[in-house]
Amino acid sequence: MIRIDGNIAKLREAVRCLRKGSGSIGLVPTMGYLHEGHLSLVRKSISENGSTVVTIFVNPLQFGPNEDYEAYPRDLEKDCLLLEKEGVDIVFCPKPEDLYYPDHSTYVVEERVSRDLCGASRPGHFRGVCTIVLKLFLLIGPDRAYFGEKDFQQLQVIRRMVRDLNVPVEIRGCPIVREKDGLALSSRNVYLSPSERLSAVALSRSLKAAKELYDSGEKNAGKIIGCVQEELLSDPALRVEYIELRDAEELSVLETVDKPAVLALAVRVGKTRLIDNVKLGEVEA
C-alpha cells in the first residue's frame, strides 16, 4: 500500500500507475477513525475494481463554526494499518492546507436535495461535502466511488451533483453497518458516555418499529413518523432534531408512502449528534 500524506503531484502519479496496471479504480472517501462501516465500503470497492484508493481527510469546510471539527476523533496510524490489511492500493491523507489555498473561493452547491434535513440544521455542510468530494473525484478520477447509506442525504446529494455536473463516476451506496443492538456505526459514537450509549439504541429501535408498521401496511407518513416520535420522546436524554419521511431520490416531502422512501432522523444524545435512517420500499443502492 502506498501512503501519500498530501503531495498532490505524487498522488496523481501513483493513480496514473494504478490505472495502467489493473483496470478500474474504486474510491472510498472517508474522514478516518475507521470502523466496520468504512471497511465494508473498502471491501465492496476491492471486490468490484482493479485498484482501490481510500482518502482520509477531516474536511474543515463541511463543519460549522460551532461543530466538532477540532474534537472529531482521529487515529491515522491505526487507520492505515487497517487499510493495509484489507489490501487497499493507495491511502491519501492530506492536511487542509494541501487541499485548500488560503484564498480558496470556489464551491460546489446543490440547492434541492441538500436543502432540508441535515442541510437545514447544518448550513454550509453539504456545500463543504460537494466541494471536497468533487475535488477528490478530480484528483483521483475513479471509475466508482463508495458511500455509506447512513449518510443517506449525503449519498443522494452526491448522486445529484454527479448527474448535474456530468462527473464520469459511478456512485455506489452501501448498507448501514450496525452494532449487535442496532446502533448504526459512526466515528462519533466514541463521544457517547455509557448511559448515552444505552439511550442511543432508541434511534435504530424506533426506525425498526416504524419499518415494521410500514411493512404491515401503514402508508400514512404522519402515522409512521408518530411511531418514531413516541419511542424517542419517552427518553429525556434524547433531543430530536428532525424525523422526516421523504421521497428516496430527491428527498421531497411525502404524505403517503407510495414510492421508494426513506425515514431519516437526527437526534442529540447529550452533546453528540447522531443520524440514522431506514428505507421503506425499494430504493436504488
The residues annotated with a catalytic role in the active site are 38
Q: Which of residues 143-202 bind its own copies (CB under 8 A)?
A: 160-161, 163-168
Contact call for residues 39 and 65 (beta carbons, < 8 A): no
Binding mask 21-40 for its own copies (x = CB under 8 A): --------------------
Question: Which listed residue (9, 20, 102, 138) binds its own copies by CB under 8 A?
Answer: 138
User: 130, 232, 257, 263: which one contacts its own copies (CB under 8 A)?
Assistant: 130
Instruction: With residue 261 as reference, give the H or E element that holds it.
Output: strand 261-269
**Do 276 and 184 touch, CB atoms closer than 8 A?**
yes
Q: Is 151:35 a contact under the CB 8 Å cutoff?
A: no
Least CB distance to its own copies at residue 8 (A)? 7
Least distance (Å) between residue 167 CB and its own copies = 5
Least gap, CB of 99 to its own copies (angstroms):
8
Look at residues 272, 195, 267, 186 and name the one whose alpha carbon lies nearest to residue 231.
267
Residues 215-274 that bind its own copies (CB under 8 A): 250
Q: Where are the strands (E) in 31-87, listed by range?
A: 51-56
Q: How far is the CB of 92 from its own copies (least distance, A)?
A: 12
Question: Counting contacts by CB under 8 A, is residue 13 touching its own copies?
Answer: no
Name the DSSP class of 220: B
Strand 25-30 and strand 51-56: the pairing is: parallel
Instruction: Choose, by CB under 8 A, the member of 8, 81, 190, 233 that binds its own copies.
Output: 8
C-alpha cell at 47: 471486490
* Half-sphere exposure in the Cβ direction for 6 (13 Å, CA): 9
Please give the Cα distance from 37 to 30 (Å, whole number): 11
Minimum CB–partner distance for residue 205 and its own copies (Å): 34
- The closest alpha carbon to 150, from 176, 182, 117, 114, belongs to 176
CA proximity to 146, closest of 33, 256, 47:
47
Q: Select from 19-27, 34-42, 107-115, 253-261 the region that touches its own copies (CB under 8 A).
A: 107-115
60: number of Cβ within 10 Å: 15
DSSP helix/strand/coil, 224: helix
Q: Which is nearer to its own copies, 158 or 207 (CB)?
A: 158
Residue closer to its own copies, measured from CB, 111 or 181: 111
Nearer to its own copies, 129 or 232 (CB): 129
Q: Does 93 bind its own copies (CB under 8 A)?
A: no
Of 77, 101, 123, 216, the residue at the interface with its own copies (CB under 8 A) is 101
Contact residue for its own copies among 7, 107, 215, 285 (CB under 8 A): 107
Residues of this chain that bind its own copies (CB under 8 A): 8, 12, 99-101, 103-113, 130-131, 134-135, 138-139, 141, 160-161, 163-168, 250
